């Protein structure tokens, strides 16, 4: 049985006219494949539901949050299925609990562990087109759970895995992955093929095409993903394993963040365990710490510690640090006017001089680097937010990504 999994994002199903176009896309694939469709909620619906929960309570129960925000997908799936039925196809909508899709983990951040295939396989054999709510499942208490924002991508990937689909296509409002944000640089080029590792770094570092955990799921389960636009017929971007890629570029793409903040503790007493004392309560409050740099004083008794977090977590971080009785410091500083710019590419593993070229390119534009972090296939620098466009343009040209 040849199966293809199609996922449609919120913008793709944002209006009834767009849903009619989505139905045409599904009908085209139905000529060659058994089609399984995963749909997000219509654009804006999930945010509206979240706002409703905030009006009820600042501490809205996580279990009820999942019930609330998962309702948006039910609407879009019914509309897609209704349009397909109107076109003469055998179709029906399925909610996660009807299949069921089994999840593990906390409310709001669950992960799919199992999908019961029997009913869907039976329905496909009858020529049916199942339209399935993405972003959700049920736990061992028979409660609805959600798997994080952007979770419909993860749903589609797991369906592709469990049903051994030949293809998994993610339809969105962009026609692929670009070398950098085309809204910031007109010369940005679409990437035809990109590795899981590069895409994971780009997604983690600010690229909005897919959520990082979805890329990680695809990588772990070796599911190739094609990212396409539901608004054009242009070829998309294939996300696959490294050995499938022939690429002569050192750097594949450039990403930047828009919601970072820098935190600096000055004059921290330098002793074993002090860093753990600072970061443990942040971790316990689900605050993700990213770039970290530590400077030891000349006398070896004090250190200045700088790290970055999401700007949304700034007020909570400040409160946690000031209430932390296990640490002493002279001053606490914050800066929200920063952005992380990163170059990503598997080619840098075997190519010397990449770091120098990046730093020199920024120096030529008189852009000061505040913090640096690296991995095997990426280099990130923290700079003043006002210099982001200039930095991206300079690096894009330096590494010939416009060709």
**For residue 142, what is the domain's CATH number?**
3.40.1160.10
Which structural domain, as residue segments, surrounds residue 40? 3-173
Please state at what angle helix 196-204 crosses helix 212-221, rounded to 10 degrees.
160
Q: Are 249 and 202 in contact (CB under 8 A)?
A: no
Residue 351 lies in a domain: no
The whole-number pLDDT of residue 258 equals 86
Residue 65 is assigned to a structural domain of this protein: yes
Instruction: Give the helix/strand (H/E) hosting 384.
Output: strand 378-384
What's the whole-number mean pLDDT along residues 358-386?
95
Q: How far apart are CA 71 and CA 50, in angstroms?
A: 11
Q: In degrees rounded to 5, what are phi and psi of residue 29? A: -70, -30
Q: State whether residue 1 is helix, strand or coil.
A: coil
91 within some domain: yes
Beta carbons of 81 and 92 less than 8 angstroms apart:
yes
- 277 in a domain, yes or no? no
CA distances from 201 to 25, 189, 196, 241 (A): 30, 18, 9, 14
Tokens 């600010």 belong to residue: 206
What proportion of the chain, given as a percentage, has pLDDT over 70? 99
The fraction of the chain above a pLDDT of 90, given in percent, is 77
Any idea which residue has 């906390």 for tokens?
A: 106
- 133, part of any domain: yes
Predicted model pTM: 0.84
Whether 172 contacts 211, CB under 8 Å: no
Q: Which two tokens stand for residue 359?
A: 């730093």
- β-strand partners of 178: 190
For residue 298, name the pLDDT band (cuts at 50, 70, 90).
Answer: low
pLDDT reading at 21 higher than 90: yes
Q: How many domains does the chain have?
A: 1
Residue 74 scores a pLDDT above 80: yes
Residue 9 dihedral angles phi and psi, to the nearest 5° = -80, 175
In order of 157, 211, 396, the CA distances from 217 in angstroms are 7, 10, 29
| Residue 53 or 346, more confident | 53
H or E element that contains 76: helix 71-86
Judge whether 169 lies within some domain: yes
Given this model, what pLDDT does residue 299 score? Answer: 66
- According to DSSP, the residues that pair with 371 across neighbouring strands are 382
- On whether the CB atoms of residues 313 and 333 are closer than 8 A, the answer is no
Give 318's pLDDT tier (boundaries 50, 70, 90): very high
Are 168 and 214 spatial neighbours (Cβ–Cβ below 8 Å)?
no
- Structural domain contains residue 355: no
In a domain, 213, yes or no: no
**Sheet (strand 331-335) strand order:** 292-296, 302-310, 260-269, 331-335
């Amino acid at each position: 049985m040849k199966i293809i999994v199609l996922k449609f994002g919120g913008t793709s199903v944002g209006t009834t006219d767009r849903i009619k176009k989505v139905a045409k896309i599904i009908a085209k694939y139905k000529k060659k494949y058994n089609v399984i469709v995963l749909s997000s909620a219509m654009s804006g619906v999930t945010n509206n539901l979240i706002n409703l929960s905030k009006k009820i309570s600042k501490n809205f129960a996580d279990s009820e949050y999942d019930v609330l925000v998962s309702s948006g997908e039910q609407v879009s799936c019914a509309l897609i299925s209704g349009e397909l039925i109107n076109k003469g196809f055998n179709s029906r909508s399925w909610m996660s609990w009807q299949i069921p899709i089994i999840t593990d983990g906390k409310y709001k951040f669950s992960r799919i562990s199992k999908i019961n295939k029997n009913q869907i396989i039976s329905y496909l054999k009858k020529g049916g087109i199942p339209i399935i709510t993405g972003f959700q499942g049920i736990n061992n208490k028979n409660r609805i759970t959600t798997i994080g924002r952007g979770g419909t991508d993860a749903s589609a990937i797991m369906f592709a895995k469990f049903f051994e689909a030949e293809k998994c296509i993610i339809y969105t409002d962009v026609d692929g992955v670009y070398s950098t944000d085309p809204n910031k640089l007109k010369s940005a080029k679409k990437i035809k093929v990109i590795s899981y590792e590069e895409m994971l770094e780009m997604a983690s570092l600010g690229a909005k095409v897919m959520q990082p955990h979805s890329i990680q799921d695809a990588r772990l389960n070796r599911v190739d993903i094609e990212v396409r636009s539901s608004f054009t017929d242009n070829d998309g971007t294939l996300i696959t394993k490294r050995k499938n890629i022939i690429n002569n570029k050192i750097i594949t793409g450039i990403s930047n963040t828009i919601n970072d903040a820098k935190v600096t503790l000055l004059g921290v007493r330098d002793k074993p365990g002090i860093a753990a004392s600072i970061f443990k309560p942040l971790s316990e409050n689900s605050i993700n710490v990213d770039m970290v740099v530590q400077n030891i004083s000349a006398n070896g008794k004090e250190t200045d510690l700088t790290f970055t977090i999401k700007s949304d977590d700034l007020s909570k971080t400040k409160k946690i640090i000031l209430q932390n009785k296990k640490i002493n410091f002279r001053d606490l500083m914050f800066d929200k006017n920063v952005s992380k710019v990163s170059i990503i590419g598997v080619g840098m593993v075997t190519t010397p001089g990449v770091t120098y070229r990046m730093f020199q390119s920024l120096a030529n534009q008189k852009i000061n680097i505040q913090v640096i972090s690296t991995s095997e296939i990426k280099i990130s620098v923290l700079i003043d937010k006002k210099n982001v466009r200039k930095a991206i343009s300079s690096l894009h040209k330096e590494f010939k990504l416009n060709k």
